[in-house]
Amino acid sequence: MLKKTVILPASKSESNRALMIAAYGGFPPDVANLSDSQDTKVLREALMFCHERKTIDIADCGTAARFMTTYLACHDGDWLLTGTDRMKQRPIKPLVDVLRKLGSSIEYVENEGFLPLQIHGKSITGGKASLDVSQSSQFASSLLLAAPMWRDGLELELIGNFNSVPYLDMTIAMMCHFSAQVERKGSVVTVKPKPYRPNSFTVEADWSAASYWYELAALSEACEISLMGLCSPSTVRRAPSPASLQGDAIIADWMQAFGVMTTEMDSALVLTKKSFTNTTLSFDFSNTPDLFPTIVATCAGLQRHARFTGIANLMFKESDREGAMQAEVAKIGTKLNKVSDNEAVIIPSVSLPYFEKKRPLHFLSHDDHRVVMALAPLAMKIGDLLFDHPEVVRKSYPSFWEQMDFLGF
């Protein structure tokens, strides 16, 4: 029986938004349980030293790229915003287009639509704008976070495929916590020109990190895994427990199809395993793209057929996640077939291979922390594994390997 109590890492999504709000508000961040992830460290350093440096390197942090683009654009100064080679392939054009229409001066240094950016920062008054959020909701969050400080606020119309809505709603909820006046009615978000005010904030544990423990529970024969620090998902919440701001909390609901039950007990969510019916499953990742690798690996390990939709934006993540997972699960005989740009099916292996310590299975990381963390629990089913770059987990979950030591890594 797998029995474990887990102190989960703090949410980097909440941490990064709290840091931006404090920076725009001009007050020290009063944030408990701030994430120790590499992404949050990169953003925090960028904010701390941007007025002393002419070049801001955000490495491979997509959130920092989007959030700092707006931050620098509306503060006096001149900066070069750059990152890794992969970061220079991830889109930024929809955000830059809107900032230019609002009066910003931003130039592409290498390739149109991508970092590096030469940003000539100056005051922005705000107003009305429309933004294509088909590729990322972070473009919208970036603008909204800045808007309370603009003279005219912002009325932002969201156009295109409306993906990752929970992340946008998280941004709005956190802005309101710090006294901003923000309202979303369908695809239109209105931000009044009311500055932030200091307020204490406690960052919740990370539901994306929790998903790998749900996967372990699903792959186990029996378990009792206690996850600490999470706000409850709506499916198990008991009043007056606070509901999670994180869309990835839906993993608690999804994992019931794999026999994983979630119970709220004192300060923990406890995962247990029961039998399940082996039917073909269906998952839509439009709002929760970070869960895609977890669900793919779980299906592969439990030999479950499934249909996946809402995957069009996976190519814009740290890796092309659909392609990365397709390549890696193929090593255990599982087929991940793309039906269209937005749909795939998984056809699991009839029998899983098993790998001994002297001849472990080598997985590639694709420089993607979520690909690595989703594949690691498969050790419960297929034996010894190795990764070419296991250190990539530091991006969001620095203690991952230490907590997973029982798997033999």
Q: Which residues are catalytic?
A: 290
Residue 291 — φ and ψ, nearest 5°? Answer: -85, -10
- Please state, in angstroms and rounded to a whole number, the distance separating the CA atoms of residues 322 and 310: 11
Query: Helix or strand or coil: residue 279?
Result: coil
Quick one: CA torsion of 214, 219, 220, 222, rounded to 10 degrees? Answer: 70
Neighbours of 177 (CB within 10 A): 17
Instruction: Decide: 42 and 59 in contact? Cβ < 8 Å.
Output: yes
Instruction: Decide: 158 and 140 in contact? Cβ < 8 Å.
Output: yes
Q: Phi-psi category of 245—alpha, beta or left, where left has phi over 0 and alpha has psi -120 to 50?
A: alpha
Residue 249 — φ and ψ, nearest 5°? Answer: -60, -15
- Please state, in angstroms and rounded to a whole number, the distance separating the CA atoms of residues 188 and 383: 50
Which pair of tokens denotes residue 60? 């491979």
Instruction: Decide: 212 and 377 in contact? Cβ < 8 Å.
Output: yes
Query: How far lies 292's CA from each of 148, 243, 286, 320, in Å?
Result: 34, 23, 10, 11
Residue 383 — φ and ψ, nearest 5°? Answer: 90, -145
∠ Cα 5 212 393 (to 5°):
100
Place of tokens 């695809």: 187
Using DSSP bridges, classify how beta strands 343-347 and 335-340 pair: parallel, antiparallel or unpaired. Answer: antiparallel
Q: Phi-psi category of 232—alpha, beta or left, where left has phi over 0 and alpha has psi -120 to 50?
A: beta
Q: Phi-psi category of 52—alpha, beta or left, where left has phi over 0 and alpha has psi -120 to 50?
A: alpha
